[in-house]
Structure 1
Amino acid sequence: MLLQNYCSNLKIYVYRISEDYYKASTAVKLYKLKVATRVGDPRKLRGKFIVLDPFSQKVISKDDISYNLNGILVVDRSWNKILEKGGEVFPFKFGVRRRLPIFIASNPINYGIAYKLSSAEALAAALIILGCIERAKEILSYFKWGENFFSLNSKLIIDYVKASNEKDVLEIEEEFIKDIQGR
């Protein structure tokens, strides 16, 4: 029951850096549907929150629940621009920075590519790891390809849900990478 309350109270924030096609942005769709809140200046957010940062050294895990988090912030920007700029998601230094472990993208632009998730997929992945499966399903239910995310990542999702800490998540990620490299 406590996890259910935690999950339903967890706020979803979007900080949009307009580098990609507005109409194709999954984050834009989420805040238009009022599933997420768009923020103009993330430094003004109150409380503790996770910033999804694909270049963070630490991976998101259930350990992060102990921070008594108020929400999750996704930075909506172009993967190509991030890579051009050497991996800087955005210059602000605040929030609890976490990267996601390996997931396979189901969005039409990066279908089948590991780690290259849309903003909606990234939020859903973070929620899955924190144990908020229903919130993750809700977020992806707004996209035609959303259900496919769960199919492509079914084994990973089962394992990540069981993971109780960062060490477990990293072991699952490492094992999955070894499996796909061994094929």
Structure 2
Amino acid sequence: MDLHVRYEGDDDPKKCTARKLARFDMATLHETARATPYGVVLNPHAEQALSPADDDHQTLVALDCSWETAERAMFEMDGDHRALPFLVAGNPVNHGRPFQLNTAEAFAAGLHILGYPNFAERVMGKFRWGHTFLELNEEPLRRYANAEDSTEVVEIQQEYLDMAEE
């Protein structure tokens, strides 16, 4: 699986997980949507959830930008857009916040759901806090990865959303 990032560069470079993954040759950064290859685009605005049924692609794409600028228009890239299901951030900036994943966490989640748990662990192994994300989300990641399709992922997600409301 190839990891590609549509890189905006509007975050603190010292905290940018996409840049760190690129330094370790684990991801390729692209400065324009046009230069970003076709693949599964991790997009929180997508209408369909990522599921193991999307494993026919060899490219996973994420947008790296500040959460303040992550508007729907920013995700206008070619590809099959999929939303990640309910997961909790383990990074120091958004620790414990649902749906507030950084780029590395989004990649790790996507890789895990698509059947590449070892690759997800390698990605998160580049960060001191990486194990925290995987530990916090161990059960949901396992369940999402065992789902048949997007519909089942959404059903599982609903269980976690209902628990979070209680």
Q: TM-score range by the shorter chain?
A: over 0.9
Could you tell me which residue of structure 2 aligns to residue 73 of structure 1? 61
Tell me whether 1:53 sits opposite 2:23 in the alignment.
Answer: no
Which residue type is aligned with residue 57 of structure 1? Answer: E
Which residue type is aligned with residue 23 of structure 2? Answer: K
* TM norm structure 2: 0.94
Could you tell me which residue of structure 2 aligns to residue 26 of structure 1? 17
Tell me whether 1:101 sits opposite 2:101 in the alignment.
Answer: no
Q: Is the 8 A contact 1:75 1:89 kept in 2?
A: no
Which residue type is aligned with residue 66 of structure 2? Answer: S
CA apart distance, 1:50: 0.8
Tell me whether 1:120 sits opposite 2:111 in the alignment.
Answer: no
After TM superposition, the runs of 4+ consecutive aligned structure 1 residues lying more than 4 A away are none
Q: How many residues align?
A: 166
For structure 2, the 5+ residue unaligned runs are none
The share of aligned pairs that are identical, in percent, is 30
Q: Which whole-Å CA distance do the structure 2 matches of 1:73 and 1:92 have between them? A: 12
Which residue type is aligned with residue 136 of structure 1? Answer: A
Q: Is the 8 A contact 1:53 1:99 kept in 2?
A: yes
For structure 1, the 5+ residue unaligned runs are 1-9
Q: Which whole-Å CA distance do the structure 2 matches of 1:163 and 1:120 have between them? A: 22
Q: Which whole-Å CA distance do the structure 2 matches of 1:91 and 1:116 have between them? A: 16
Q: Is the 8 A contact 1:14 1:31 kept in 2?
A: no
CA apart distance, 1:76: 0.5
Which residue type is aligned with residue 124 of structure 1? Answer: A
Q: Deviations over 1:98-154 (max 9, x none)?
A: 110010000000000000001000000011111110010000000011001111112
- Aligned CA distance change for structure 1 residues 138 and 89 (closer, same or farther; 3 Å): farther
1:101-180 residue pairs with structure 2 within 5 A? 101-180=85-164
Q: Is the 8 A contact 2:36 2:77 kept in 1?
A: no
Q: Is the 8 A contact 2:63 2:75 kept in 1?
A: no
CA apart distance, 1:45: 4.5
Q: Which whole-Å CA distance do the structure 1 matches of 2:19 and 2:77 have between them? A: 24
Q: Deviations over 1:40-91 (max 9, x none)?
A: 3342455x401111111111111212xx313011110000222xxxx32516
CA-atom RMSD in angstroms:
1.4
- Aligned CA distance change for structure 1 residues 137 and 20 (closer, same or farther; 3 Å): same
Which protein shows a greater Rg?
A: 1
- Aligned CA distance change for structure 1 residues 119 and 91 (closer, same or farther; 3 Å): closer
Which residue type is aligned with residue 61 of structure 1? Answer: S
